[in-house]
Amino acid sequence: MIRRLRPDRETCNVREIVLDTETTGLDPFQGHRIVEIGCIELLNRIPTGQSFHRYINPERDVPAEAVAIHGLSTEFLKDKPFFAEIAEELAAFMGDAPLIAHNALFDLAFLNAELERAGKLLVQRDRLVDTLLLARRKYPGASNRLDDLCIRCGIDNSRRTKHGALLDAELLAEVYLDLIGARQAQLVLVEVGAEAIGGPIVPVVVRVRPAALVPRLSAEECDAHLAFVATLGETAVWREYLQLPAGGA
């Protein structure tokens, strides 16, 4: 299923695509093919919820060692579309956005082999952002498999019992944002004017309840609270909140 969000070019939105593939083997030049592709859209480093996901008939048998990794058998894939049938949808979803992948040259080799076979334009290498290289720079000498990075970055990967293109792309999107520091930045609460982010100023609509809520405090409880506030001193914040005059309750 394809779902796409078209960015507004006037607001200079940065669109990126996180991509993952599953294949019948390790080398497209030895006849191995893509069996699954998953893409996640990021807009200004935030997942939009838009995705592209397809299982693909590889037009060949899937070796047992590959099935052990991703669980996609020849029988399961036999009624799925051929790559050529989904190539235009995939190209439309990717657009001209940068492509983020883990060990990106592996995915690029398979993707371009399929695109060439389908008579479509190839993806240029300079569009790639390789999270494996980013991880090696940030964690030199450490294991940088996707599972290891999820654990290191505090990302829940408990659903990943086997490799799956869409799930792996979702996890990789979180890893990528962590590697570039964008994931932490999203957790910082700051007050920013609409002009600072290039958005229009939208008035806040304050709605009035058709019927006031029934008070939950008795008059005696309110009087007791006022008496307590009076004991807190002239600088108590509650005095401002309750609009109490100085020197009295």
Catalytic (active site) residue 53:
no
Contact 25, 66 (CB under 8 A): yes
Single out the catalytic residue among 32, 70, 102, 163: 163
Contact 93, 4 (CB under 8 A): yes
CATH code at 9-194: 3.30.420.10
- Angle, in degrees to the nearest 10, between helices 83-94 and 104-117: 120
Tens digits of residue pLDDT in 168-193? 999 999 999 999 998 665 555 444 44
Give mean pLDDT, residues 137-161: 92
Q: Which DSSP string do the residues of 58-127 spell out, in sequence order?
A: -SSPPPHHHHHHH---HHHHTTSPPHHHHHHHHHHHHTT--EEETTHHHHHHHHHHHHHHTT-PPPPGGG
- Asked if residues 147 and 160 have their Cβ atoms less than 8 Å apart, the reply is yes
- Closest to 28 in 3D by CA, of 111, 104, 110: 110
For residue 215, give both structure tokens.
């008070």
What is the β-pairing status of strands 15-23 and 128-130? unpaired
The domain limits of the chain are 9-194, 217-249
* Residues 136/179, Cβ–Cβ less than 8 Å: no
Please tell me what DSSP assigns to residue 158.
T
Q: What is the pTM assigned to this prediction? A: 0.69
Q: Averaged over 146-173, what is the pLDDT? A: 92
Q: Are 129 and 99 in contact (CB under 8 A)?
A: yes
Q: How does pLDDT run across 67-113, given as a tens digit for each residue?
A: 999 999 999 999 999 999 999 999 999 999 999 999 999 999 999 99
Q: 80 near 56, Cβ under 8 Å?
A: yes
pLDDT at 6 over 70: no
For residue 249, is pLDDT > 60?
Answer: no
- The percent of residues in the chain predicted with pLDDT above 70, rounded, is 79
Which residues are CB-neighbours of 239 under 8 A, at least 6 positions away? Answer: 229, 232, 246
